[in-house]
Amino acid sequence: MDYTVLIPARLASTRLPNKPLADICGVPMVVRVAQRVLSGKAMPRVVVAADDKSIVQACTDHRIESVLTRTDHVSGSDRLAEAAQILGLSDESVVVNVQGDEPLIDPQLVQAVAALLVRHPQAEMGTAAHALDNLADFLNPNVVKVVLDAQGLALFFSRAPIPWWRDGFAGETRSLPDPAPLRHIGIYSYRVRFLRMFPTLPPASLEVVEALEQLRALWHGHRIAVHVSPDAPGIGVDTPEDLARVRNVLSSALAASVR
C-alpha cells in the first residue's frame, strides 16, 4: 500500500535540549529515525516535519526529505496537518506519525499501523498496543492502557488500570487480568481528511482529564483501529539516560554489522 510517514521534529525540549539533533553514533537522532523506517521492506515516503531550519539542514545533509513547518503548533498532530498540506497529500491518503525520538522503532510496526486503515474502512485513525506482562506497568499512570472491541477498535484509552479485574483485586493478592491488558504504543496512522479536521475539533473533557489527545477522536465519534503487536516497542528518548542507552544499543549493532 502507498502511505507517507511523517516525523514531527520540534527543536525545543525541556529535558533534552535540541533533541532532534542529538548525536547518535555520528548521525542526528531524527535522521536515525527516518533511516530506521526506510530500512524496512515497505519503503514508504518518509518526510520530517521540522520547526527549525537546522533540522531541515541536517535532513538535507543525510538525503532525508523534510518540510519546514510553523513554530507555534500546539501539538504534533497540528504540525502533521500542516506538513500534509505542504506536501499536497489528498484527503484519501494515509499518513503514519512516527515520533522523532524513536530511533529503534520497528519498521514492520509502522507498516502494520498503516495497513489498519485498509482493513478497517470505518476507522479514521490507527495505532498499536502490546500485552502487558507485569503488574507494576498495569498500575503505573505513566503507562497508557487501551481496551478494544471485538473488531479490534479502541473503546477507551486510560492511564488507569483497565480493564479492572474485580475478582482478581478483591483480596490481598493482586495479579494481571486474563487475557492480559494492553499497553498503548504511541504511533498513529491517519486518513489525511481526518488529520486536517482533527485540530478543529473542540478538546474533550475526557482528553483534558486523562491528558490523552486520542480521546478527542473517540469523544467526537471517530473510530481508532488498533494493531496488537507481539513485541514491546524499542527504547524511546526522553532523557539523557535514554539517549545513552540508545547510543549503546546502536553502537553494539553497528560494531556487529562490520565483523
The pLDDT of residue 113 is above 90: yes
Whether 157 is in a domain gets the answer no
Whether 29 is in a domain gets the answer yes
> How many structural domains are present in the chain?
1
The pLDDT of residue 170 is above 90: no
Confidence of residue 15 (pLDDT cuts 50, 70, 90): confident
Give the pairing type, strands 182-191 and 223-229: unpaired
**Average confidence (pLDDT) over 180-205:** 95
- pLDDT, one tens digit per residue, over 24-56 is 999 999 999 999 999 988 779 999 999 999 999
The pLDDT of residue 259 is above 70: no
In sequence order, which ranges of the chain are alpha helices (DSSP H)?
29-38, 53-61, 76-87, 107-119, 135-139, 192-197, 205-210, 214-219, 240-257
Angle at 231 between CA 226 and CA 235, to 5 degrees: 100
**Average confidence (pLDDT) over 211-237:** 94
Q: Which three cell numbers stand for residue 37?
A: 523506517
Whether 257 is in a domain gets the answer no
- pLDDT, one tens digit per residue, over 221-230 is 999 999 999 9
- Whole-angstrom distance, CA of residue 63 vs CA of residue 159: 39
**Average confidence (pLDDT) over 162-187:** 87
Whether 108 is in a domain gets the answer yes
Say what the pLDDT of residue 233 is.
87
Confidence of residue 194 (pLDDT cuts 50, 70, 90): very high
- pLDDT, one tens digit per residue, over 55-107 is 999 999 999 999 999 988 888 888 999 999 999 999 999 999 999 999 999 99
Say what the pLDDT of residue 140 is.
94
Q: How far is CA 180 from the centre of its chain?
A: 22
**Average confidence (pLDDT) over 117-126:** 96
Single pTM value for the model: 0.91
Give the pairing type, strands 145-148 and 154-158: antiparallel
> What CATH code is carried by the domain that includes residue 41?
3.90.550.10
Residue range(s) defining the domain that contains residue 194 = 4-127+184-248
- Indicate the average pLDDT of the chain: 92
**Average confidence (pLDDT) over 250-259:** 79
Write the CA distances from 258 to 37, 39, 254, integer angstroms. 21, 17, 7
**Residues of the chain with pLDDT > 70: what percent?**
98
Say what the pLDDT of residue 35 is.
96
Whether 84 is in a domain gets the answer yes
The pLDDT of residue 258 is above 70: no
Whether 163 is in a domain gets the answer no
